[in-house]
Structure 1
Amino acid sequence: MHEITVIGGGFAGLTAAVAAAESGAKVFLYEAHHTLGGRARTSEGPYKTNEGPHALYCRGPHWTWLNQRDLIGPLAALPLREGAKFRFRRDGALRRTPPPAMFRLAHRRAELAPVDADFMTWATGEVGAEGARAAAHYMGVALFHHDPGSLSAAFVQERLRRATSLPPEARYPRGGWGQVIDRMAARAWNLGVRIETTSRVDAIPDRHGPVIVATSLGAARRLLGDDSLRWDSGRTTLIDLALRTRRGDPFVVSDLDAPGWLERFTAQDPSLAPAGHQLVQGQLPIAPHESKADGVAHAEALLDLGFPGWRERTEWRREALAQGRTGAVDLPGTTWRDRPAIDRGQGLYLAGDQVAAPGLLSEVAFNSGLEAASLALLAIRKTGGRTTERLDLKRT
């Protein structure tokens, strides 16, 4: 067996490790945190939260791969009565439906949207300004960007079609994403992957095989000393709330006046909070000049509309700022192919959600993890397991 080293134990790193081990490689995985999962890690304690709202999209490539290996596990089903509690803020008021023009736009084929034009300009020409603006703001749920209308029309439209598809693509692993990570980690262990947590890698390992860097792009930039490893991402205030249960609370509040999203995750999975409590999670994109407090104020305005008496009902609350950790966004004139390449040469490969791989949200991390593992295995076959030069290891 030949060695492959994976740095980072999130979704991308575990995907790469499992794929490489399934092909017979000896895999070493290093994770800086004491638990695996990265942003897919589910918190411990009575309230099971992730780093922002999480869902699996069932028409994505990772769904089939995970399902074939029995790694998804039980899914939380949304009761029909809860699905009817989808609300939209429009013109400052809470409504049951978005503008009809937004639905018309969502049915436009993604291939019709140009790469070089911004979404707002193209969509306005298709359905008018009201529908275009509502669709752009709705896409805050899948783009984590303060101005989705400024992004490539092709990029946004592809995601709009999937985020509004019927029946919905979103699926929720029961108990949170951490359950999927635990199953992936168990499969890696069973395949012989050597996993070391609390192992922060400060330089590329001195091994004779390929190295897959499955970290954030910022961490990869520092680790590899390569300042070109940059790509646009979102900046988001995350908020988690545990509220005492009240009948009539909405399942989702989607802000069509500005990008913002609140979701009551216990509507489909009551196991995420103790009995009598419900877990609400939100992500509120903020502009470069805005602060976390601006996002919190936005969240509270949506809560005031959708969750009467939420302040008095709050049992637990947490806020965070996510910067450069929300996935790649493509500006007009760019596509996923223009992002930092997976193959960095000299036996080094990148995996993560901001590199040159297609997909929606976690699908980018998954696709890049598979591609990195495939390229690493190909390099082993071509070189007999030797990289083009030896590199130093410093691990604390």
Structure 2
Amino acid sequence: MNTITVIGGGLAGLTAAIAGAERGAEVTLYEAHRSLGGRARSTAAPYVANDGPHALYRDGAPFAWLAKRGLVGPLARPGLRELSRTRFRVGGRSTRRPPLPLLRAVLRRGLPAPVDRDLASWGAERFGVEGVRAVAGMLGVVTFDSDPGRLSAAFAWERFVRLTAPRPAAGYPVGGWQALVDRMAEHARGLGVRIVTGTRVDRVDFGGPTIVATSLDAARTLLGDDSLRWESGRSLLVDLALRGREGDPFLVFDLDEGGFLEQNSAVDPSAAPPGETLFQAQLPARPGESRQSATARLERLVDTVLPDWRHRLTWRRDQMMAGRSGALDLPGYTWRDRPAIDRGDGVYLAGDQVAAPGLLGEVSVASALAAARAAVTRTPVRVA
């Protein structure tokens, strides 16, 4: 029997452990923290807040893999009532209507975008400077980057197309990401995976294939490989619980600065105590910007759409997320250019900044499946 070691108990690590065990391997997973989940953790009740936007996109292969195993669980979907409370911040003001330049861009969703050009220059030629600026403003929620216009047009445009699909593909795990993590952990243990928490691994020497499913920074240190670097975003994340009130927005796209605000408890009431509403706001930080400055800018966004939020506040959590937002592809690069999954000598990488396609957490799942398959079969990594 193959023996596989997985380092890291987040979405990628649990996926790799399950996939390895399903292929007949004896799997041990090590997680440095006392609880599993990584960036997929949620805070404990009564305020169930995720470490970032918590949608699962149902139009990709990673979702199908989770769903086939019954791991998705109850999934909430916003209805017309929630979607009708979508707002846009434009010119420092809140509006219900998306600006015309953005609508013109949406109507051209079928355009193919080049890999070797940046979104800003390519988009300006196709639907104007104001249009591409609005597109970039919407992309803050899926890139965590203050300037998506600098990214590969193909990379950024694909995300915009999925974000503006006529039938939204996003679903929200009831109970937060932690509920998904808990189901994956239970399933892994049922397959015989040995899970060890509270144990930090400082070397890769297990006498068999090892899948490193940590952040890229941690993998660089663990493997002593300085090449393990890739472009990633930096963003301020703020969770706010407020006393409930009718008419609060469900989604807010900050087209001015790329921020985003979402009422998590609108689709999952279990996220907040009765009578309260849980919001999550995030704003990409500018290069070199201080946390204090980013906080001031984000609070201006919240002031615009929830002017009385300070008087209604019951709970708050602030986090600066640096290098934790997944891979960003610059002009001329695709996911195939990211750090390779197969590092040689039986060591594999899995995570949201390595060589796999997809949107946000989908990259973790896709890379973990490729790593597990290669580790068990000892064949080259294949990712569609």
**Who is 1:206 aligned against?**
206
CA separation of 1:360 and 1:354: change in aligned 2, threshold 3 A:
same
Separation of aligned partners in 1, 2:16 and 2:345: 18
Q: Which moved more, 1:110-119 or 1:268-277?
A: 110-119
Between 74-83 and 331-340, report the one with greater CA deviation: 74-83
Q: For the residues of structure 1 that align with 2:257 and 2:215, how far apart are their CA atoms?
A: 27
Is the partner of 1:302 in helix, strand or coil? helix
Letter of the structure 2 residue corresponding to residue 360 of structure 1: L
Residue 77 of structure 1: how far off its partner (Å)? 3.1
Aligned to 2:249: 250
> What corresponds to 1:227 in structure 2?
226
The answer on whether the counterparts of 1:141 and 1:260 sit within 8 Å (CA) in structure 2 is yes
**Structure 1 range deviating more: 70-79 or 183-192:** 70-79
Distance 1:153 1:247, change over 3 A: same
Segments of structure 2 that go 5 or more residues without pairing to the other structure are none
- Deviation of the 1:88 alpha carbon: 0.3
**Contact 2:234–2:285 (8 Å) recurs in 1:** yes
Shift in Å at residue 111 of structure 1? 6.6
Q: Supply the distance in 1 between the matched residues of 2:242 and 2:224 (Cα, whole angstroms).
A: 45
What are the equivalent positions in structure 2 for 1:105-120 lying under 5 Å apart?
105-108=105-108, 112-120=112-120
1:218 equivalent in structure 2: 217
With 277-286 and 371-380 compared, the bigger mean Cα shift is at: 371-380
> Residue type of the partner of 1:134?
A
Mapped to 1, the partners of 2:16 and 2:246 lie a distance apart of 44
Matches within 5 A, 1:244-283: 244-283=243-282
> 1:300 Cα deviation (Å)?
1.0
Structure 1 residues 73 and 17: CA distance shift in structure 2, 3 A: same
Kept in 1, the 8 Å contact 2:105–2:131? The answer is: yes
Q: Deviations over 1:4-28 (max 9, x none)?
A: 0000000001001000100100001
| Aligned-partner Cα distance in 2 for 1:64–1:223 | 32
Q: Where in structure 2 are the equivalents of 1:1-396 lying within 5 Å?
A: 1-108=1-108, 112-207=112-207, 209-379=208-378
The one-character-per-residue Cα deviations of 1:317-356 (angstroms, maximum 9, x if unpaired) are 1111100111010111111111100000000000000001
Distance (whole Å) between structure 2 residues aligned to residue 33 and residue 110 of structure 1: 44
> 2:264 touches 2:271 (CA, 8 Å); kept in 1?
yes
Work out the CA distance in 1 between the residues paired with 2:144 and 2:253: 13
Partner-residue secondary structure (3-state), 2:376: helix
Deviation sequence 1:167-201 (CA, Å, 0-9, x none): 11110011101111111101100000000000100
1 CA distance for matches of 2:331 and 2:358? Answer: 17
1:88–1:380 distance in 2 versus 1, CA, 3 Å: closer
The CA distance in 2 between the partners of 1:124 and 1:179, in whole Å, is: 42
Structure 2 vs 1, CA of residues 110 and 351 (structure 1 numbering), >3 Å: closer, same or farther? farther
Asked if the contact 2:242/2:314 (under 8 Å) is kept, the reply is: yes
How far, CA to CA, are the matches of 2:227 and 2:110 in structure 1? 30
SS of equivalent to 1:43: coil
- C-alpha contact (below 8 Å) 1:14/1:184 kept by paired residues: yes
Q: Give 1:64's aligned amino acid.
A: A
SS of 1:360's equivalent in the other structure is coil
Contact 1:30–1:197 (8 Å) recurs in 2: yes
Q: Do the aligned residues in 1 keep the contact of 2:54 with 2:173 (CA within 8 Å)?
A: no
- Matched residues, number: 380
Helix, strand or coil: the match of 2:378?
helix
CA distance in 1 between partners of 2:76 and 2:206 (Å)? 44
Extract structure 1 runs of 4+ deviating beyond 6 A.
Answer: none
What RMSD, in angstroms, separates the aligned Cα atoms of the two structures? 1.3
Q: Which amino acid aligns with 1:7?
A: I
Deviation, structure 1 residue 105:
2.2
Partner Cα separation in structure 2 for residue 169 and residue 149 of structure 1:
24
Q: Distance in 2 between matches of 1:201 and 1:323?
A: 22
**2 CA distance for matches of 1:175 and 1:206?**
36
Give the equivalent residue in structure 2 for 1:387: none
The one-letter amino acid paired with 1:166 is: P
Residue aligning to 1:385: none
Distance 1:104 1:87 in 2: 18
| Counterpart amino acid of residue 170 in structure 2 | A
Task: With the length of structure 2 as denominator, give the TM-score of the two structures.
Answer: 0.97
Asked whether the 8 Å contact 1:356–1:368 carries over to 2, the reply is yes
TM-score by length of structure 1 reads 0.94
